[in-house]
């Protein structure tokens, strides 16, 4: 099985690229979904995160209020590191488990949609890294168009790895400052010329 990480900064378009690859038959692992699940009551990171940040991050049903938690950690880099130290190991474990399950199901290509590849300790688990990149202006415009507060977007972007750092970790970079049709073409070209040949080799 060929394992691919699709990563990129907030608003760059990594989830759209993942969807386009899924339409070509790839299996998909959504790291954000797993990140949400480990923070649910009984989840692998729930108790440690509540112990770190206190009951103030809980709502009336004892669920972690993700907005409260985000407001706390994106305002302080040290708090973000504490959250990542508690949540990344169980997220990584679940992703590795799902990779094994994908291979057992006979998936030829599995794509991990993951925002923090290096910090999550996952680079060694994949065969290819695709970085979707876009200008800060384009990314901010996309996120605010989705209803996110511009200041919140700025804080989240500042907390993520820089664009150059992401690009240096990539096997392939997809530039996404254009429209959806352009992104579809670039993703299709990458699939035909780079990914599909590698996947066929893995199946031989």
Answer yes or no: are the C-beta atoms of 110 and 29 closer than 8 Å. Answer: yes
**Of the candidates 29, 167, 186, which has an alpha carbon nearest to the alpha carbon of residue 95?**
29
Q: What is the CATH number of the domain that holds 37?
A: 3.40.50.300
Rounded Cα distance between 23 and 83, Å, is 34
Tell how strand 109-113 and strand 172-175 pair up. Answer: unpaired
Integer CA distances (angstroms), 184 to 30, 33, 90, 141, 188, in order: 20, 24, 33, 20, 6
Domain count, the chain: 1
Q: Which residues contact 35 (CB under 8 A, 6 or more apart)?
A: 87, 91
For residues 1-33, b (16+ Cβ closer than 10 Å) or e, as one string?
A: bbbbbbbbbbbbbbbbbbbbbeeeebbbbbbee
Determine the structural domain holding residue 100 and report its residue range: 2-203
Return the DSSP state at 23: T
Encoding tokens for residue 113?
């949609």
Q: Is the distance from CB of 115 to CB of 195 less than 8 angstroms? A: no
Question: pLDDT tens, 69-87?
Answer: 998 898 888 999 999 999 9
Per-residue pLDDT of the chain (204 residues; tens, 9 = 90+): 999 999 999 999 999 999 999 999 999 999 999 999 999 999 999 999 999 999 899 998 999 999 899 988 988 889 999 999 999 999 999 999 999 999 999 999 999 999 878 766 788 889 999 999 999 999 999 999 999 888 888 888 988 888 999 999 899 999 999 999 999 999 999 999 999 998 887 654
């Amino acid at each position: 099985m060929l394992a691919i990480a699709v990563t990129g900064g907030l608003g760059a378009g990594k989830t759209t690229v993942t969807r386009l690859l899924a339409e070509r038959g790839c299996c998909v692992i959504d790291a954000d979904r797993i990140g949400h699940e480990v923070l649910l009551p009984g989840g692998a990171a729930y108790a440690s995160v509540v112990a770190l940040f206190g009951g103030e991050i809980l709502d009336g049903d004892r669920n972690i209020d993700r907005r409260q938690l985000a407001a706390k950690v994106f305002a302080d880099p040290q708090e973000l590191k504490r959250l990542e130290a508690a949540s990344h190991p169980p997220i990584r474990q679940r992703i590795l488990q799902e990779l094994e399950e994908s291979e057992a199901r006979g998936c030829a290509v599995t794509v991990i949609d993951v925002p923090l590849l290096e910090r999550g300790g996952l680079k060694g688990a994949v065969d290819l890294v695709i970085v979707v990149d876009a200008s800060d202006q384009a990314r901010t415009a996309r996120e605010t168009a989705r209803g996110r507060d511009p200041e919140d977007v700025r804080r989240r972007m500042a907390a993520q790895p820089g664009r150059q750092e992401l690009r240096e970790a990539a096997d392939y970079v997809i530039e996404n400052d254009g429209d959806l049709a352009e992104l579809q073409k670039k993703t299709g070209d990458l699939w035909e010329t780079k990914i599909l040949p590698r996947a066929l080799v893995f199946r031989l």
